[in-house]
């Protein structure tokens, strides 16, 4: 199985800050990576697919980059509504696997 | 709009089985695979498998093979996940989600991410 490792596990940032979350794959997954946002008590919501493609309806404050084994999710200017846990998921090969999540807190 | 509405929370004893439903609306039920994931408290998401509502074919992750059954009733646009021989570590929120197929300039691939999610169903396994 492909192991997905996110860092940090938790981050605390102020409104307006630029925030970056990293996701590393244990083997090459090309650009077959998705990012999800999960607000407390809610289901995940798709933000980005194929590493850098913004899902329809998602604010352009979110962006994704990377390929191979290292990927980043960036929030350009943090807002209170961005309080959530962010998950990466590889879909290069079965079984589809997720990172352990990164919790974003607002200072 | 696309909606996936799941059945309510359940409490089960170890060794029992549970069946979770996922009712789809707002799209053609037979056009997209239904995937199942679960999330234990404070943990990451774990993909369990997929079911094709058109054919009824399914595939489960190796860690669940032999314990999970995925079915559907097309007349009611409902997918089901049944998990048997429950253990305490099966306590989790279970999600259904539609799978969106990856595509390239050469055509679609059998690689999926998840674009629409149900609200989740808490299954608690406790004696």
Chain B residues touching residue A88 (CB < 8 angstroms): none
Model confidence at B37: pLDDT above 90: yes
Residues in chain B: 127
The three-class DSSP label of residue B3 is strand
pLDDT at B108 over 90: no
Q: Which of A43, A87, A99 comes nearest B118 by C-beta?
A: A43
A96 contacts in chain B (CB < 8 Å): 35, 47, 112-113
Under the banding of pLDDT at 50, 70 and 90, the label for residue B35 is: very high
pLDDT tops 90 at residue B109? no
What average pLDDT does range A22-34 have in this prediction? Answer: 98
Handedness of CA B115, A82, A96, B104 (dihedral sign): positive
Q: Nearest by CB to B113, from A91, A94, A101: name it.
A: A91
- Report CB contact under 8 Å: B102, A99: no
Alpha carbon distance B121, B5 (integer Å): 10
Read off the pLDDT of residues B74-105 as tens digits, 9 standing for 90 and up: 999 999 999 999 999 999 999 999 999 998 88
Cβ contact B117–A44 (<8 Å): yes
Q: Chain A: give the shortest CA distance to residue B21, in Å.
A: 16
DSSP helix/strand/coil, B89? helix
Average pLDDT in the B56-62 region?
95
The residue behind tokens 């609200």 is B119
> Could you write out the DSSP letters of every residue in B16-30?
--EEEEEEEESS-GG
């Amino acid at each position: 199985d492909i192991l997905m490792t996110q860092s940090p596990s938790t981050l605390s940032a102020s409104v307006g800050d630029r925030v970056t979350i990293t996701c590393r794959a244990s083997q090459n997954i090309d650009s077959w990576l998705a990012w999800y946002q999960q607000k407390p008590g809610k289901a995940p919501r798709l933000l980005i697919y194929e590493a850098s493609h913004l899902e329809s309806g998602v604010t352009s404050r979110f962006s994704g980059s990377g390929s191979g084994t290292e990927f980043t999710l960036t929030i350009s200017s943090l807002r209170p509504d961005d309080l959530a846990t962010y998950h990466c998921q590889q879909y290069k090969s079965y079984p589809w696997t997720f990172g352990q999540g990164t919790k974003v807190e607002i200072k | 709009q696309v909606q996936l509405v799941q059945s309510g929370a359940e409490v089960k004893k170890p060794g029992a089985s549970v069946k979770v439903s996922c009712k789809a609306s707002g799209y053609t039920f037979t056009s997209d695979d239904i995937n199942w994931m679960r999330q234990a408290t404070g943990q990451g998401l774990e993909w369990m498998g997929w079911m094709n509502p058109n054919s009824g074919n399914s595939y489960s992750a190796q860690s669940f093979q032999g314990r999970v059954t995925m079915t559907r009733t097309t007349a009611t646009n409902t997918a089901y996940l049944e998990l048997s021989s429950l253990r305490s570590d099966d306590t989790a929120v279970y999600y259904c989600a539609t799978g969106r197929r990856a595509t390239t300039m050469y055509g679609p691939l059998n690689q999926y991410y998840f674009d629409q999610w149900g609200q989740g169903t808490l299954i608690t396994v406790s004696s």
